Chain A
Amino acid sequence: DQQVKQNSPSLSVQEGRISILNCDYTNSMFDYFLWYKKYPAEGPTFLISISSIKDKNEDGRFTVFLNKSAKHLSLHIVPSQPGDSAVYFCAASAGGGSNYKLTFGKGTLLTVNP
């Protein structure tokens, strides 16, 4: 039972355009969401996060939007750069009894073409 779903295994965009990566979740107890970026043969690095009390969080070129009613979040990268080419993982956690353990999606491979 996959609680965090990234339904697009891959996405290709042109340099300078917007990249939109999507993530859906099923567990209504999730109250914190994160995006990680991963290059081949390296560990994931934290990119941006959002609490369920917000619907938007912005950090430079990266913005995460959260739609709680739809159980959907998205990561927008504007403008996209070739160095953004990587696998992006969506992750979610619930506090309290779940001890904030992260549940990851399967990832989306983003390719930004020069």
Chain B
Amino acid sequence: DGGITQSPKYLFRKEGQNVTLSCEQNLNHDAMYWYRQDPGQGLRLIYYSQIVNDFQKGDIAEGYSVSREKKESFPLTVTSAQKNPTAFYLCASSRLGGHYGYTFGSGTRLTVV
């Protein structure tokens, strides 16, 4: 049963700490994406990757980092440089080379305490 899994569902971080959000997919999709959702802001693209060991910044990449060492995995690190990290984070994946749309994970709610 193919899908995309984000973990954990809820995450709490202290000020000044880095935290890593996990995203794994078994859909054999080439492309993976990280979005952030804030009230009234819609979905804003943080980073995306279309191939292993390569990724590009999205619209709001500052304070975030990613890696793509495996096709199935695209973890997102929220660093202490991110000034307002409390948000709902969504990971997505898609095929490439056509209009295939995205499959989304169920999201991670990050709260800074």
CB closest residue in chain A, given B6:
A43
Chain A: CB-nearest residue to B109: A41
The count of A-to-B residue pairs whose CB atoms sit within 8 angstroms is 57
Tally chain A residues at the interface, Cβ within 8 Å.
Answer: 26
Q: Is A63 located at the chain interface by the 8 A CB criterion?
A: no
Tell yes or no: B81 within 8 A of A by CB: no
Q: Is the CB of A89 within 8 A of B99?
A: no
Q: In the complex, A31 Cα to B109 Cα: how many Å?
A: 33
Q: Which chain A residues border B99 with CB–CB below 8 Å?
A: 31-32, 49, 51, 93, 95, 100
Q: Which of B1-53 contact A (CB under 8 A)?
A: 4, 6, 31, 35, 40-43, 48, 50
A-B complex: 6 closest residue pairs judged by Cβ atoms: A43-B104, A106-B42, A32-B99, A104-B43, A43-B106, A44-B104
Q: List 13 A-B contacts (CB under 8 A).
A: A9-B40, A34-B101, A41-B109, A42-B107, A43-B105, A44-B90, A44-B104, A46-B102, A46-B103, A91-B101, A100-B96, A106-B42, A107-B42
A interface residues with partner B (beta carbon < 8 Å) = 6, 9, 31-32, 34, 36, 41-46, 49, 51, 89, 91, 93, 95, 99-102, 104-107
